[in-house]
Amino acid sequence: MPGPVSPRGAGARAGGHGAATGRRTAPGAEPRTARVPAQRSAPGSARPAPGRAAGRDVPGRPVPARPARPPRVTARTRAPLRVRRQKILLALSLVLLLVCAGRLVYVQAIAAPAFAAEALRGRTVTQVVPAERGEILDRSGVVLATSVERWNIVVDQKQLADWKKDGDSAAHAAELLAPLMGTSAAELGPKLLGDSTFTYLVKGVPPEVYEQIMKLRIMGVWGERVSQRLYPAGTTAGTILGFVGTDGYGLAGLEQVYEETLAGQDGSDTYERGEGGQRIPTGEEQYVAPQPGRDVQLTIDRDLQYTAQAAIDAQVAATGAPWGAVQVVDTRTGEILALADSGSIDPNNPGGNAQPSRAASYTYEPGSTAKAISMAAILETGVATPTSQFVVPYQYATPNGEVFKDSHAHGDLPLTLTGILAESSNTGTVMVGQNVPPQVRLDYLHKFGFGQRTGVGLPGESPGLIVDDVSGWDHDGRSPYAVLFGQAVGATTLQNTQVFATLANHGLRVQPHIVAAVEDDDGVLQPVELADPVQVVSAETADTVVRMLESAVTEGTGGNAEVPGYRIAGKTGTAQAFEGGGVVKTVASFIGIAPADDPRIVVNVVLYDPKTSIYGGTVAAPVFSQVTAQALQHLGIPPSGTVPELFPTTYP
């Protein structure tokens, strides 16, 4: 009989996995339970709760899933990983190689010209090549101012610090350079040390010295080409010429006035320079030639200028005058043959006290020399003749009550008009000259050049001081008379010289000038343009005044101006100059014409505030005689061949 059947589910509950097999249990035997392999807890899994058998299912709760076991790393699994890493490294290497290759292509092919240009700029220097400044010549072509090539020696102290020779760079460089620079190594050494990239060691060395320095090949030492102005005649005509500054620009005199003509156009020299500062022979070069300046030829005669300067310097020293001046002018052409100022500068070393020529800049009352203008006006208007007779008192009162005196007390003098001029009488000049209308008096002063610049071409020329018309005298009763003997009017020495040159040239006023010609673009000296001549008075009047002035030398106040063998016409002057604070100084002068019978030159001698005498006949006339004698001989002007026919100066 079959045994009893277990209730449904009993096996499952009792045997667990055995029931699941579907096996039957033998009758009377105990049911077998399936063996379940022991399970390992995954790392970090929870322990069984206390009181609960491990490995047993909890009734009514699901069995948790067992975590997957990680794959074991074996030789077979390790190989693909290594290959992957190698591929990554290879890829990175290829990328880096491509970057480097691209950069190389950029540098070598694309950016190469830019880099090369930058490197070239670093090696390239450009130096100014100074234009050769034009020369200034005297009337015969003698050089008064010229330019020569010179070099400034420069050091880059940083480059020199890298130069090694015999172990002590700066000290050894100083020993090599000092003899060539005219100094000692001890003095030169400190200039070689420091952080400056540009320091002058010496300026103005000749080209041959520069070449010797460059042959030393001292790193950081190089040359800067410059043009140096030289004045071979030294102080002769120094004040006229002026000078140039360290930058090569004219700062005074004709160097300043004719700067654009003389300067030219600078060029440039661009080249590659090596580490030591030397030119690279095979390097890039670009040279732009300078355009030389143009020459300027003067009317000045160098030898006559020297004579005039020496004479006035000596007389200034002898009389204690602060300064003096001498002018020699060709009466026919207006050419200034000499324009001498005492104490002329040396343009080679002008210093800080250089003064412009006083010939055209200093204004003072001309004094008695202006009486020549009054005589010309008196003759031209028919007021009197050279032989007209007058009784001249020491003191004279004009119709409006103004009182004038002569320089020396005297009784009434029987003088002709020529005698009034010869004796330089103020009262006589006013007595006769007041018959010339005031406007006419003023007109003649203007006609002879007062109140206007001469156009001589010197810097700082003054037009002088004079009223424009007679209305300027409306509230001044004295000036209309004072101008007759050279007061109440201001003029320069050159304007006074021009008056006598006009009379000597038969009344024809020509422009006084100091520049004769200027070189054109073709290298040809072209005469300068001058103002048209002006006939101031008739030739007859002018010649008559010159004849009257001859009496002033032979019978009047100008006896010290005589030159043996030559007839001389001239006039002494004692004038006033006003300084600040109302201080009055005296100006002594003599202006003369030679030869009087055939005028060729006018010479004006001026001494400012002489201490030995205030009279032109005493201090100025002897200098006139000395300078005029040498000028006549130097110019080859023959002695006078006629005996003067003088007008009488007195009457019975």
Report the relative pairing of strands 267-272 and 143-155 from DSSP bridges.
unpaired
DSSP string, 521-540: TTS-EEEPP-PPPEE-S-HH
If DSSP codes are grouped into helix, strand and coil, which group holds residue 87?
helix
CA distance 263 to 254: 12
Question: Is 184 labeled as catalytic in the residue annotation?
Answer: no
Which residues contact residue 69 at a Cβ distance below 8 angstroms, ignoring those fewer than 6 apart?
Answer: none
| Closest among 197, 241, 158 to 457, alpha carbons compared | 241
CA distance 107 to 195: 34
CA angle 152, 157, 159 (to 5 degrees): 105
Report the relative pairing of strands 136-137 and 296-298 from DSSP bridges.
parallel
CA distance 326 to 605: 5
Among 344, 357, 368, 424, which one carries the catalytic annotation? 368
The answer to whether 363 and 562 are in contact (CB under 8 A) is no
E strands, 131-175, are 136-137, 143-155
- Strands ordered across the beta sheet of 584-594: 336-341, 323-330, 601-608, 584-594, 569-578
Helix or strand holding residue 586 (H, E):
strand 584-594
CB atoms within 10 A of CB 408: 9
DSSP string, 320-359: T-SEEEEEEEETTT-BEEEEEETT---TTS-TT-----HH
E strands, 181-335, are 199-205, 221-230, 267-272, 285-288, 296-298, 323-330
The answer to whether 421 and 552 are in contact (CB under 8 A) is yes
First to last CA, the chain: 215
CB atoms within 10 A of CB 224: 16
Q: Quickly tell me which residue has 């800080």 as its tokens.
A: 352
Alpha helices in 392-448 (DSSP H): 417-422, 426-433, 438-447
Q: Which residues are catalytic?
A: 368
